[in-house]
Amino acid sequence: AGDLAAYTVVWELRLPRVVLAAVVGAGLATVGVAVQAMVRNALADPFVLGISSGAAVGANAVILLGAFAGLGVWALSVSAFVSALAATAVVYAVARSAAHGLTPLRLILTGTALAYGFEALTTVMVFGAARGEAARSALMWLLGSLGGATWARVPVAAVTVAAGWVWLRARAEPLNALAM
């Protein structure tokens, strides 16, 4: 009975988290390098540009407010992705609206400023949550919890990361040229 319990804990709880963490880490590393090349700044990453903070707003809208509930298990992912795209568009539009045009430095500074704004919105949403468990879930998501990892979720993440890697790899030459 002890061996079965240990097997279940390792195989069904721990190992999916480890594998998902590796897949997500690979995806974040790939996106980070691509963003640095596109922005032509070694400091650029999804956190500095406000993309991650924008995703957090969307994820918290699902967790705390029940937004996009009609999408079922995909609500959190879709909301985070859509709000990350929206945050990217807002950062780009604000940085580009300056009199001297868009520069890598202006993009970084605009992204950093707007990231704090998105984080403030996320904080207001968490503290305004009427239900304690929802606020706890939102904070755990923000901290990068992999508590919900299952073997069923690993292939979805792996395919998404692999597709993104293949797409970026096919565009390696232009990205390398930008990095120069």
Q: Is the pLDDT of residue 54 over 90?
A: yes
Q: What is the pLDDT of residues 2-33, one digit of tens each?
A: 788 888 889 989 999 999 999 999 999 999 98
Each as own residue / partner, the long-range contacts of residues 128-131 (CB below 8 Å, 24 or more positions apart, any chain) are 128/64, 129/64
pTM here is: 0.84
Tell me the mean pLDDT in the region 77-103.
92
CA angle at 21 for the pair 19 and 24, rounded to the nearest 5°:
110
The pLDDT of residue 128 is 85
Q: Which of 82-86, 120-124, 141-145 has the lowest mean pLDDT?
A: 141-145
Tell me how far CA of residue 21 lies from CA of 24, 119, 149, 178, in angstroms.
Answer: 5, 23, 9, 30
pLDDT value of residue 17: 95
Sorted by where each begins, the domain ranges of the chain are 1-39+150-180, 48-147
